[in-house]
Amino acid sequence: MKKNLYYRTVFKRSNAFKEGLLAFFLAFCSWPRLLLEVFIRKNFGERYFSFSTAMTVAFILALLPLIYLEGYSRIVRSSEGMTFIGHFTTWYVYLAGFLYMCFQRREEIKHLPSVFDFGRFSLSTGEIHPRFREVTFNGVPADIRTIEIWLEPLPFAIVSFVLWFMGQPIGFIIFLSSIFYSLSYAGAYHQGDHFIMDKIDEMICNEELVNAFVEGRESSETRGVSFYGRRPADPETRRRLAETFVEENMVEAL
């Protein structure tokens, strides 16, 4: 596709703060998302699922209750062993399940087609559980976007509310992870939507360049494309100048 310099200079202006916040948010969500997706997805990409990262997350989760117990004991100078067991048994049960599923996911990756033989996308987010594809709304199956943003984190959110209501701290962790899971996919789809719209807008600008800049037509006649700035009076000069607004994408032969 031809690169429209006018579009990229005037129209395609990114919000640096918003884009930076979105990038930070998506990166920050990787760990909370990991806590859920190992239970509901399989066949992750080799570079998407990191077993070492999963073990790091598990190690931190295993330590947090012990740090809490040690700190509480120092403050009140008394042992809270029974309270600890009552509050954190579900925590370690969840952790055991998480570790088991992480080993399962690692074994799956070992048996997948080789990335180096072009048999597999190394950053694949895995395969969605078939049960989610059976969900329908008014007889229409839920699309992938709805599944990833809403349906996948929903069961975890429900279970987390029950656990949280029962005074189980793991409920808060799962609830927080479900929120991050949903918002991370919402952010990814937001980026994807804008990428496609940028490409479409640039194509339209290429097609309407002569009408908007050379002929000076109104935006109602150019599918909304407007030209901002002064134009040379001579039409032929405008035409020659318009040719410099577009660059051909050169592809070098390997």
Each residue's pLDDT tens digit, 41-88: 999 999 999 999 999 999 999 999 988 877 655 665 555 666 778 889
- For 233-247, what is the mean pLDDT? 82
Pairing label, strands 246-247, 140-141: unpaired
Each residue's pLDDT tens digit, 103-142: 999 999 999 999 999 999 999 999 999 999 999 999 999 9
Each residue's pLDDT tens digit, 140-190: 999 999 999 999 999 999 999 999 999 999 999 999 999 999 988 988 898
Q: Which residues have C-beta within 8 Å of that of residue 226, sequence separation ≥ 6?
A: 212, 219
Each residue's pLDDT tens digit, 176-187: 999 999 988 988
The predicted structure's pLDDT at residue 190:
86
With contact defined as beta carbons under 8 Å apart, do 228 and 222 qualify? no
Cα–Cα distances in Å, from 149 out to 25, 168, 229?
Answer: 15, 26, 42
134 three-state secondary structure: coil
Nearest CA among 189, 158, 187, 200 for reference residue 175: 158
Q: Is the pLDDT reported for residue 17 higher than 80?
A: no
The predicted structure's pLDDT at residue 1:
66
79 three-state secondary structure: coil
The predicted structure's pLDDT at residue 252:
43
The predicted structure's pLDDT at residue 13:
61
Confidence tier at 15 by pLDDT (50, 70, 90): low
Q: What is the C-alpha separation between 97 and 39, in angstroms, rounded?
A: 9
The 8-class DSSP code of residue 142 comes to P
The predicted structure's pLDDT at residue 225:
85
